[in-house]
């Protein structure tokens, strides 16, 4: 690991909260939770933006959504997950860590939850589900994002493959990486959004919706 990154990870460890114990579980069980420094960046954006309504696509075990909710009791997170095993673990975690009142879990495919999210406008949408579908998630869910709100998309550099697709052997992965490339260039061209890509961890895109 690069020395600066290692150093920053070390100093962030000292300001831990108890949700962090789920990181080692996720790593052991290959659950793709958001990387540590990216998480700290997103939490800082939530604070700067004074976000109170957050929509997340891709809950997994609830690690990121609980971290977001932990910033302030005024924050509400709506999060969507389709995998039954993940749903069950997320439910247990929300209960055990005491987040049932702040987090609403929508069970099922994200594209089938539109009528359950359209009763609210969100300050931030965090896209962190199937990587080949990020564009579709963006198109389906940003109508519920307030003007001036943020879309944060994770894994836009996907394992370093997005900038160097020739190293990818698997046909399926290659197809997925091509979709991520397409999404990134499409995203930067969106006239109503200002997008900034961060070369941090697995790559993070931060897009601000115009007025």
Chain residues binding ligand SAH by CB under 6 A are: 32-34, 58, 60, 63-64, 80-83, 86, 109-110, 128-130
**Which residue, 115, 97, 118, 112, is CA-closest to 53?**
118
**DSSP label at residue 34:** P
The option from ligand SAH, Mg ion, none interacting with 203 (CB < 5 to 8 A, set by class) reads none
Name the binder of 33 from Mg ion, ligand SAH, none, CB < 5-8 A by kind.
Answer: ligand SAH
Residue 157 contacts residue 202 (beta carbons within 8 Å):
yes
Residue 97 touches which of ligand SAH, Mg ion, none (Cβ within 5-8 Å per kind): none
Using CB under 5 A, pick the residue from 56, 107, 123, 128 that binds Mg ion. Answer: 128
Does residue 155 interact with Mg ion by CB under 5 A? Answer: yes
The DSSP code for 120 is S
CB of 132 to ligand SAH, least distance (A): 9
Q: Is 123 in the site for Mg ion (CB under 5 A)?
A: no
Rounded-to-integer distance, Cα 54 and Cα 69, Å: 9
Minimum CB–partner distance for residue 191 and ligand SAH (Å):
27
Q: Which does 77 bind (CB under 5 to 8 A by kind): Mg ion, ligand SAH, none?
A: none
- Which residue reads 């999060």 in tokens? 79
Q: Cα(198)–Cα(137) distance, rounded to whole angstroms?
A: 20
Joined together, the tokens standing for residue 89 give 């673990």
């Amino acid at each position: 690991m690069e020395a600066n990154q290692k150093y920053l990870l070390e100093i962030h460890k000292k300001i831990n909260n108890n949700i962090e114990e789920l990181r080692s579980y996720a790593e052991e069980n290959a659950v793709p939770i958001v990387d540590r420094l990216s998480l700290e960046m997103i939490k800082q954006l939530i604070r700067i933006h004074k976000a109170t309504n957050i929509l997340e696509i891709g809950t997994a075990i609830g690690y990121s959504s609980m971290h977001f909710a932990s910033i302030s009791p005024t924050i509400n997170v709506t999060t969507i997950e389709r995998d039954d095993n993940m749903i069950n673990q997320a439910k247990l975690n929300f209960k055990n860590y005491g987040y049932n009142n702040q987090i609403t879990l929508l069970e099922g495919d994200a594209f089938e939850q539109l009528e359950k999210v359209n009763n609210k406008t969100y300050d931030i949408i965090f896209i962190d589900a199937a990587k080949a579908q990020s564009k579709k998630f963006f198109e389906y869910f940003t109508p519920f994002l307030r003007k001036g709100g943020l879309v944060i998309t994770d894994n836009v550099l996907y394992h370093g493959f997005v900038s160097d697709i020739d190293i990818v052997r698997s046909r399926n992965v290659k197809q997925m990486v091509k979709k991520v490339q397409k999404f990134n260039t499409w995203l930067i061209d969106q006239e109503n959004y200002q997008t900034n890509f961060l070369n941090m961890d697995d790559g993070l895109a931060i897009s601000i919706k115009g007025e």
